[in-house]
């Protein structure tokens, strides 16, 4: 993965680690704040929201951000709270065609926002709310 300029890449999942060090939910940013030539390669591991592994070298530079968020973080702000519940409620019993997309369960969606989707929010409720980190 390469992120630079002002790019924002959001990854929903859990058990994230950078270079083998466990990290919480939050923003991965450039170490030196410069261009890609100045940044070391780093490795991101973890589990994606749909259960698949992530194990990738990444480079990040400038003001770009890789945001690590829990499943159910519908507004991609790094946590699961009332903002996400509000989005889900507005799409309740609908196909979840609005953005942000609330049809998150089963894994790739099933065409309806219902209790399966609500269950994901409940499972990760308040994850990321306390002390989001910049790594």
Rounded distance, CA 11 to CA 25, Å?
10
With CA atoms as reference, report the closest residue to 122 among 64, 71, 58, 83: 71
CB 88 to Ca ion: min, Å: 10
Instruction: Compute the C-alpha angle 88/93/96, nearest 5°.
Output: 55
Interacting span for Ca ion (CB under 5 A) from 23-31, 42-50, 59-67, 109-117: 109-117
When asked if residue 85 is in the footprint of Ca ion (CB under 5 A), the reply is no
When asked if residue 117 is in the footprint of Ca ion (CB under 5 A), the reply is yes
CB 36 to Ca ion: min, Å: 29
Q: How many residues bind Ca ion (CB under 5 A)?
A: 10
Structural contact between residues 73 and 12, judged by C-beta atoms closer than 8 angstroms: yes
Q: What is the contact surface with Ca ion in residues (CB under 5 A)?
A: 73, 75, 77, 79, 84, 103, 105, 110, 116-117
């Amino acid at each position: 993965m390469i992120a630079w300029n002002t790019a924002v890449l959001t990854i929903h999942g859990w058990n994230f680690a950078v270079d083998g060090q466990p990290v919480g939910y939050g923003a991965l940013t450039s170490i030196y704040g410069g261009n890609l030539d100045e940044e070391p390669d780093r490795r991101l591991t973890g589990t994606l929201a749909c259960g698949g592994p992530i194990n990738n070298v990444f480079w990040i530079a400038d003001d770009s951000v890789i945001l690590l968020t829990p499943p159910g973080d519908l507004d991609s702000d790094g946590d699961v709270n009332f903002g996400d519940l509000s989005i889900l409620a507005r799409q309740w019993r609908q196909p979840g065609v609005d953005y942000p997309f609330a049809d998150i369960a089963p894994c790739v969606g099933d065409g309806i926002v219902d209790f399966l989707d609500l269950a994901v929010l409940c499972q990760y409720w308040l994850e990321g709310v306390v002390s989001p980190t910049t790594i």
